[in-house]
A and B are shown apart, each in its own frame.
Chain A
Amino acid sequence: MSANLPVLLVVVPLLCAPLAALTRRPRPAWGVAMLAAGWAFVVSILLLSRVLAQGTISYHIGDWAPPWGIEYRIDEVNAFVVLIVSGIAAVVTPYARRSVEREIDATRIPLFYTAYVLCMAGLLGISVTGDVFNVFVFLEISSLSAYALIAQGPDRRALTASYQYLIMGSIGATFIVIGIGLMYVMTGTLNMADLAQRLPMVDANRTIPVAFAFLAVGISLKLALFPLHLWLPNAYTYAPSAVTAFIASTATKVAVYMLLRFFFTIFGAAFAFDVMHLDRVLMPLAIIAIVTMSLSAIYQVNVKRLLAYSSIAQIGYMILGISLASVTGLTAGILHLFNHALMKGGLFLAVGAVMYRTGSVRLRAMEGLGREMPWTMAAFVLAGLSLIGVPLTVGFVSKWYLVLAGLEKGWWPVAAVVLVGSLLAAIYIWKVVEVAYFRERSREEPVREAPLALLLPMWILVLANYYFGMHADLTVGVAHRAAQVLMGVAQ
């Protein structure tokens, strides 16, 4: 059983999804989703501890040796990403029970949880597989269920947001498939490790740079890198609260993992950065993303849209770290995957509790909430401090490593951009804090505090921000090892 854990991580959620569709009531369907999320979390912790102790795990599906068969290959990078996805699922699913009952029609809740568990299974599958076409299949599984989940939002603009995401996401996935096809035509294999060995041996030809370009654009669409981010604000704003919290914390992180896997493991850092000059494209786009998206966030009147623009800026931080192409830079980028999931997860869960009680997420509806929903707003403030990067929080640790990585290469502007981004984040977090604590209520009736079922997951994520901010050696250690694996540095 324990030897089969890599594949059981994905198969049990895949089995739970149709089971949730067969239950006809909301509570059993939620129970099945809880089972899948809990299983995934436990298995991901076991896998991470095994990888840290023994090194890369390799599992052959169908007992066909790679490269003939599909291989599931877990190293430090994968195990960390799988932990992020399953951890967020394990926290958001208990929250979803009451939040979803309030926002979605009861007859559709079983199918909602089916799509939710399928999305989780797809994201887990992308993270563990060692075969590039399998990545595409799981990418489409998770994307299609995400489109269906986002369209469940109460506002009718959720439908157009989901449609826009569908069009742009399908373009991205098709570009990725073109890139995979061109790589296959030149090397004859789909296994990642095998591709990494064969690509340097291919004769100099225009096909491989073209494959690289298609993959870069396709993956950038999925992770909402600056000019290709247009689907994200609408998708996050109009989706149901639990869906926003889950997808904001996981989908773009897994897309960043895909970028790392394709460009560092398969093509190799030397090809990507010295021959194709990927850093000259990624770094300017990341810097523009951080500055312009933080500025856009300041002008929003809808809190979810504010946090969505903030997410695009935070993705800019991750890409900035990756584009530095050094072990410290990669450590900062990978670390920020985990930290941002904690920060944004907590913020979106808090906003979801506000939606649960007041029915609106506009800034005006949050006036005076500091007194009426003290625990929720306190969670928002604490997570917001982490977003700004106050010391003792995980946000500070990520920005510290980013600045270190930039100074290591002697590029002062990187440190300056990180500081400017923190200042802008302080402005938009203060906007919400000022409305909640320093204004009088303009709604007719007071609201009560959010129920315990919503408060507990929120506070677990917020306190995790501070725990991992003070005991940073746990996450930094794993991220550092992952960065070394990606850069090919012998340990």
Chain B
Amino acid sequence: MKRKLIIGMTLALMAAPAAAADFPSRPIQVIVPYSAGGSTDLSLRVVADTFKRLYDGKQFVVRNQPGGGGAIGTSATVHARPDGYTLGAGAQGPIAILPHLGGTDYTLDDVEFVGLFGRSIQVMVACKGAPFDDFESFFEYAKTKAPQIGNSGAGGANHVSAQAFADEAHIKIENVPYNGSSDARTACVGGHIDAMVASPAEALAQSKAGNMKPIFVMEPKRIDLFPDTPTAVEKGINFTWSSWKGIIAPKGIPEADLAFLREAVKKIATDDEFVKKMTDMGEFVTYEDAATFKARAEKDSKSAERVLKDIGMYGMNK
């Protein structure tokens, strides 16, 4: 314990010169575009906690600005004064999907990417009492009937991902929108829908209880939590999808300050204690620098655009 402390203090001292410039001289505000208590909010609170620990008392202050599926808070972030003191939680829905629906006053191009610290792996699960329980039987069923797949909201991330999969696999599905993912999960455990897209953590707990069965993982490779569950890719369907969490900012932040913030996200995302806490919460921590993060968001945005055009939702709120 003592030794850890000493190492920590030495590290902190070593880090100090790098951040010697007076930025940040006051707390940095991070806008979370969702209500307090959701997974994005909780993750950002852990980020803020870690920042305070790593940067010796300097502070991230989380500010929740929910509404419009994340569009209101994201708009507030990209239109904030670019002095580095207002950042935002960057989430897939409001950045890569919502602008295609219309009704947002920003696009992907208005976003300055700082860094990505976590991805949410997605698993398609069969719900309680569904007429299928693995990939083969799911596919067999989908050849003749359209399975009802619940999602957390029309035009939301897992509506788009389920539809993108169906397009790629040439099957028909019926999308059943719910008001948020916990409502969809309730319906799934109660057997009111056939399948849904879940996070590995919730899928694991519920499949142990016999309420859900994993069908496939939306990753390029199998994951440790579900070693026996196939990916869509290995079944010959060119489809991967994951949602993500990162830090974004308005464009125009002074170069040096932006560099400091990017470095901070990297340090936080690679901090052992941070990784452990996030993993306990069921998040998958991974660090991507600004350029990789931006490329990922652009790729998702392209897929979302295609899917939304297909199902006639493109630009519907313009």
A binds B: no
Interface, chain B (partner A; CB < 8 A): none
